Amino acid sequence: MKKIGEGKSKLLFEDGQSVVMEFKGDVRCSTQEVLYDLRIAKIRALFTYEIYKLISQNIPEVLVPEMIDEKTLKMESATPIPLEWIPRFVAAGSVVKRFGFEEGYIFSDMILKIDYKTDVDDYLITDELIVEKGILSPRELCEAKELCKKIANFLNLYFREKGLVLWDFKMELAKNKDGKIVLIDEISLDGMRLKDLLTGESFDKDVYRRTGDVELLIRAYEIGYQRIFG
Ligand code: 5GP
């Protein structure tokens, strides 16, 4: 397999028509130091695999990756779109800091925040800029938003039935060889805010943002995983 890239949290390899994604096990956030733990790599890989399966059962155009080993997934090869798609149901993080919403404010409707990825940082971008920069055509942008909304609304309802509240999460999309917009990359508790409906207990990276304790984080990820898939 040929190595085609290395991100902060994954190694990427080309394998014919597929991309192989090996998780590194890093834990990153602005309030704590970066650390690496193999258990984190395994939890993130398994969560991603299971959530793709769940989404695919309800949104068949989402293809399930193959799990090659405990920290490695294989997906259809597609050209990544340099945007992060972040559906939000409840305010936290950047929308609290930048737009003055109170933490925990419930949005009247789901808000889809789109960030432009650069080597320096990720920047909030508008529809017009996405089209003007040639990242997506208006039709592709529409297709991408529809896919994000379908996935987000499905997960929001599914988690609610499990007694969990989805505050926000990050997705990445790509264009496949037929020009179709597809879901790629990780979806895990590393890029999600998920809390218990009654107690407000967090099962996501907020645990590490607050405590800097990786054992507490792993425990939270394990409970979150069990609550959703167990
Ligand atoms: P915020 O906009 O508050 O920084 O992030 C919103 C949600 O998207 C959070 O659940 C956060 O963890 C996730 N998110 C945003 N950017 C990234 C990223 O670059 N990597 C990961 N793993 N998650 C992200």
Total number of domains constituting the chain: 2
Identify whether residues 69 and 134 lie together within a single domain: no
Same-domain check for residues 101 and 178: yes
As a whole number, the mean pLDDT across the chain is 97
CA distance 30 to 23: 20
Model confidence pLDDT, tens digit, residues 105-124: 999 999 999 999 999 999 99
Average pLDDT over residues 56-66: 97
User: Nearest C-alpha to atom 11 of ligand 1 is from which residue?
Assistant: 191
The answer to whether residues 88 and 33 belong to one domain is: no
Give the residue, by CA position, lying nearest to ligand 1 atom 18.
191
Which pair of tokens denotes residue 103? Answer: 């933490």
- What pLDDT is stored for residue 80 in this prediction? 97
pLDDT tens digits, 146-173: 999 999 999 999 999 999 999 999 999 9
Which numbered atom of ligand 1 lies nearest the CA of 205?
12
- The model's pLDDT over 11-49, given as tens digits with 9 standing for 90+, comes to 999 999 999 999 999 999 999 999 999 999 999 999 999
- Section 194-210 average pLDDT: 98
* pLDDT tier at 77, thresholds 50, 70, 90: very high
Q: Is the domain of 86 the same as that of 187?
A: yes
* Percent over 90 (pLDDT), the chain: 100
Whose C-alpha lies nearest to ligand 1, atom 15?
170
Within this chain, do residues 64 and 110 fall inside the same structural domain, yes or no? Answer: no
pLDDT at 167: 98
Summarised one tens digit per residue, pLDDT across range 84-105 is: 999 999 999 999 999 999 999 9
In a 13 Å sphere around the CA of 19, the CA atoms on its Cβ side amount to: 20
| 205 band by pLDDT with thresholds 50, 70 and 90 | very high
**Do residues 132 and 59 share a domain?**
no
Ligand 1 site, CB within 6 A: 84, 86, 92-94, 168-170, 190-193, 205
My answer on whether 84 and 14 are in the same domain is no
Q: Find the CATH number of the domain harbouring 204.
A: 3.30.470.20
Domain that holds residue 66: 2-76
Cβ neighbours of residue 227 closer than 8 Å, sequence gap 6 or more:
162, 163, 164, 203
Q: Is residue 228 part of a domain?
A: no
d(CA 57, CA 13): 27
What is the per-residue pLDDT for 222? 98
89 and 196 co-located in one domain: yes
Amino acid letter for position 43: I
- Find, among 210, 205, 179, the residue nearest to 192 by Cα: 205
Among protein residues, the one with the nearest Cα to ligand 1's atom 2 is: 94
Point out the domain boundary residue: 76, 108, 132. 76
Are residue 16 and residue 55 in the same domain, yes or no? Answer: yes
Question: What pLDDT shows up at residue 148?
Answer: 98
Determine the pLDDT at residue 12. Answer: 97
Q: pTM of the entire structure? A: 0.97
